Chain A
Amino acid sequence: MDPGVSSAQRHVLTYMEDAVCQLLENKEDISQYGIARFFTEYFNSVCQGTHILFREFSFIQATPHNRASFLRAFWRCFRTVGKNGDLLTMKEYHCLLQLLCPDFPLELTQKAARIVLMDDAMDCLMSFSDFLFAFQIQFYYSEFLESVAAIYQDLLSGKNPNTVIVPTSSSGQHRQRPALGEASMLEGVEASLFYQCLENLCDRHKYSCPPPALVKEVLSNVQRLTFYGFLVALSKHHGINQALGALPDKGDLMHDPAMDEELERLLAQVPGLVNSVTASSEASCLPSRTPPRVGSPWRPLHHARKVDAESDGSTEETDESET
């Protein structure tokens, strides 16, 4: 591949590959309504950020846009949990992540939790916003953070990290615990030196990094800082959050009027509140459902379902042909 291809272009190819793959996966279903429509739908969903729902982790991780979309989806789906005020353990948050991505690795959630908890008490409860912002930093910038960890270790041990550093897979993260009682009496590393190394890192690397200007801002407030101190500062920095563009500001985290409206509509349908919706009546669930936001030539959801229902009602021969 031509090395001159920019990262934006490369990601387009990723989506093309994935689209073709999806097409192959579901060719029986898709051939029913046409390939051109499929591609339009696919790329629309990429734009809207719904393409990552229930996909495998390798896809979700593949591009920065995917990661940001995933973060946004997680926020939208589970904001209500946060709003309810529940404090959950790391394992439970991981469970929620798995609802959206079945093979999401526990490692990542653990690292995110470490940022919030700052130590090894992994059973501690965390609030939704704390976890979400830490998770954002950990997930979106995972490769960056690994390199930073390596740099930090080197700085701690006094080596000059301005030479090229190739972060080994996860050893960087494991070395995160700065051994207290090492040569340095003061904790952490010097901020300005640290910043210089990071600046080099950002220039050199192809994966996403936080905007250097903002990193400088974070580091300019202190003389010295620890690795986790740095991560916490990153996660709490509004500017970085905005630059990422996935999540709203911390203050607005619980607000999503459109979804709240939708929720009220759903709540109104809870059996018992409305005049009893018995199990056999199907109609009640559907009419109030808003049609998909694609707002398009697509047949709305319930119509499609009816079509399927009709085909299912046909003779057994057709059932056989499905398998």
Chain B
Amino acid sequence: MPSFPILQRSSEEKILYSDRLTLERQKLTVCPIIDGEEHLRLLNFQHNFITRIQNISNLQRLIFLDLYDNQIEEISGLSTLRSLRVLLLGKNRIKKISNLENLKSLDVLDLHGNQISKIENVSHLCDLRVLNLARNLLSHVDNLNGLDSLTELNLRHNQITFVRDVDNLPCLQRLFLSFNNISTFESVCCLADSTSLSDITFDGNPIAQESWYKHTILQNMMQLRQLDMKRITEEERRMASVIAKKEEEKKRESQKQSLLKEKKRLTINNVARKWDLQQHRVTSIAANQDRKDSDSPSQDPCQVDGSTISAFPEETGSLDSALSNALQGLSVTDTHLVEVDGDTLSLYGSGALESLDRNWSVQTAGMVTTVSFTFIEFDEIVQVLPKLKIKFPNSLHLKFKETNLVMLQQFNALAQLRRIDQLTIDPQGNPVVSFTLWKYYVLFRLSHFSMQKINGTEVTQNDMIMAERLFGILAHVASSELPQYRLISILGDARKKQFRYLLETKGKKPGVVSEENNDSKRLVGENTNRATLNYTTRDFYNEKLEEIKEKKKFCKMYIEDLVKEATEINMKNEALQKLWPQMFIELVRDAVIEIRNKSSYMKLCLQQITDQK
């Protein structure tokens, strides 16, 4: 039997302090056997070197046991102390919470400053009010069911990253989580569901450094009265609510934005692919299908909404439906894209040209100064230029990319606009840019616009001079050397097209028509010498040629008939020439014969005259 010191008090002490015994700082290494003190209620062993709890099983009336600052490695030897209410085991070397099964009356359990890594074996302590686990090795908090009376839980100075089950503590009012490792609210989100919490600390956690810390906590834990030991004011609460709302809005907005951007990107990709196909750049349709499948899950128009939403992480249900509703409202389809972004109108795909017919508000349309065309055939753009002129009168900068500009002549079509300050022709998809002379031709043909920039470079005086020098004679020839009727018919053609469009809109905007009248008048006057340089799209041109064929056939036949007639007449004339001398002689002879007999001739003449009556 190991020998334990035996403690015996004098009877005077026993009577004076019958229910309490203090053995502080006694340099004890073991618990002594305490004899004859069965009424003991408070026992104090603070600041000793005790390694095991022993020899106190006979003190069954013990209510208060203090073993603070010892060297105890394991909780044991307490199974008989059914009345124990306060157990202080702070600053020991306890690694595990155990052997507390019988201590059902426990009110305060202090285990701070130990080496405990897990909360366990406490669910039966239904009367426990205070639990102190500060300065331990806890990495998380869970398993808290059963502590139905717990009011205060001290978890300071641990390594806690997440907290769970706190909402199972119906009485918990104070929760101290200072100096742990909590960085997001999600990791402690159960706190929001705890209606009893009024006091909480998070200082010393990474979360407390975040800009959204205070208002997120306040917004999610409306029941709180103190945060980090400071009273929460009404003002703070209000601010938190406002900020939280704003953040939510912002999040929703940015989600919407990224959804839109994604959709836009997909649409533009689709338009680009269609364009490539059209330009016969993609070798086979089969290859194209493969590419389509690998690039994005589905390009099917009716599925676009579904696929793009699924590309984003799951959101709460309400957010999702709001966004999908927003999507319905957009006028984006799979085949083309129209976007107005402040001062720029961007059109992708030929279907986008129809959007020029829409009723644009005067304000929106007035703000647009740049119009950008991508993946649309230039010939198709030419046909809507009159509309552009009317609907977007302030558009001064035109941009073309992948529009199949191949001939210098196509630039002639831009002359009909009111004004262009800047022109950007992207080399991609516009072979005309590879020509040495293209800029000069543009400057020459559109000299009446006094353009300032082409493809980002300023237009200099020298450029203008060079342009005129290169093509000035062309203009001169095109105006003064053309026969009059050709001049009028060419100019008439161009003006007729403009008027045709204007007459179509005449019903809607009568005022505009007369303005256009003056405008085109002025236009024709400005650059007469190059006004004959027009551009007719290939299709129109071929149409015209077809129409002319009939006329040509008719003319040919007509001329042939005329020639035949002329030849016949000529032949007859020649024949007459040959026959005439003989005929003349016969005529004279007949006349002479007739007159030979004067009297009978006179009689014949008189007869003729009376016959006439």
Contact = CB atoms under 8 A, between A and B. Distances in A.
Contact of B503 (A42, A44, A48, A319): A319
- Which of B464, B484, B514 has most A Cβ within 10 Å? B484
Given A30-B485, A319-B503, A320-B503, A280 B555 contact: no
A216 interface: no
Contacts of B514: 316
A282 B526 contact: yes
B480 interface: yes
Given A29-B492, A270-B465, A81 B437 contact: yes
A16 interface: yes
A78 B468 contact: no
Interface stretch (A107-115, A171-179, A229-237, A291-299): A291-299
A249 interface: no
Interface string B570-608: 000000000000000000000000000000000000000
Interface string B494-512: 0110011001001000000
Interface stretch (A189-197, A202-210, A305-313): A305-313
A102 B436 contact: no
B559 A80 contact: no
B407 interface: yes
A53 B473 contact: no
B528 interface: yes
A159 interface: no
Nearest to A86: B436
Interface residues of A, number: 81
Contact of B465 (A26, A41, A267): A267
A312 B559 contact: no
A243 interface: no
A252 interface: no
B524 interface: yes
A304 B484 contact: yes
B31 to A, nearest CB: 103
Contacts of A76: 473, 477
Contacts of A271: 447, 450, 464
B483 interface: yes
B479 A50 contact: no
Interface in A1-35: 1-2, 13, 16-18, 20-22, 24-26, 29-30, 33
Q: How large is the interface on B (under 10, 10 to 19, 20 to 34, 35 or more residues)?
A: 35 or more
Interface string A35-73: 000100110110010110110100000000000000001
Contact of A301 (B436, B479, B527): B479
Contacts of A22: 485
A76 B437 CA distance: 17
A263 B545 contact: no
Contacts of A223: none
Contact of B464 (A99, A259, A272, A301): A272
Interface stretch (A87-95, A136-144, A160-168): A87-95
A264 B473 CA distance: 10
A25 B484 contact: no
Contacts of A99: 408-409, 474, 533
B469 A304 contact: no
B473 A263 contact: yes
Contacts of B7: none
Nearest to A304: B484
Interface stretch (B113-121, B305-313, B333-341, B515-523): B515-523
B486 interface: yes
A53 B521 contact: no
Contact of A26 (B437, B477, B485, B495): B485
Contacts of A86: 436-437
Contacts of A24: 551, 554-555
Contacts of A282: 522, 525-526
Contact of A53 (B465, B477, B484, B520): B477
B474 to A, nearest CB: 4
Given A25-B551, A266-B472, A270-B468, A312 B520 contact: yes
A21 to B, nearest CB: 4
Nearest to A315: B514
A262 B476 contact: yes
A95 B409 contact: yes
B532 interface: yes
B551 A21 contact: yes
B238 interface: no
B529 interface: yes
A289 to B, nearest CB: 6
B548 interface: yes
Given A2-B567, A53-B486, A298-B484, A78 B474 contact: yes
A286 interface: yes
Given A26-B485, A29-B488, A81-B437, A21 B528 contact: no
B521 A309 contact: yes
Contacts of A53: 477-478, 481-482, 486
A304 B470 contact: no
A81 B440 CA distance: 11
Given A21-B552, A91-B435, A279-B450, A293 B480 contact: yes
B536 A102 contact: yes
A54 B491 CA distance: 13
24 contacts: A16-B559, A21-B555, A33-B485, A48-B481, A53-B481, A73-B477, A77-B474, A80-B470, A80-B471, A80-B472, A86-B436, A92-B435, A95-B409, A259-B476, A266-B472, A271-B447, A280-B522, A285-B527, A292-B481, A298-B484, A301-B487, A305-B528, A309-B525, A322-B496
Given A53-B477, A267-B468, A294-B483, 17 more contacts: A16-B559, A17-B555, A17-B559, A20-B555, A20-B559, A24-B551, A41-B483, A76-B477, A88-B435, A89-B434, A102-B409, A263-B469, A263-B476, A267-B465, A298-B484, A305-B525, A308-B524
Interface of B: 407-409, 431-432, 434-437, 447-448, 450, 461, 464-466, 468-492, 495-496, 499-500, 503, 506, 513-514, 517-518, 520-522, 524-529, 532-533, 536, 541, 545, 548, 551-552, 554-556, 558-560, 562-563, 567
The 9 residue pairs across chains A and B that have the minimum distance between CB atoms: A282-B525, A266-B472, A26-B489, A45-B483, A20-B555, A77-B474, A21-B555, A50-B481, A92-B435
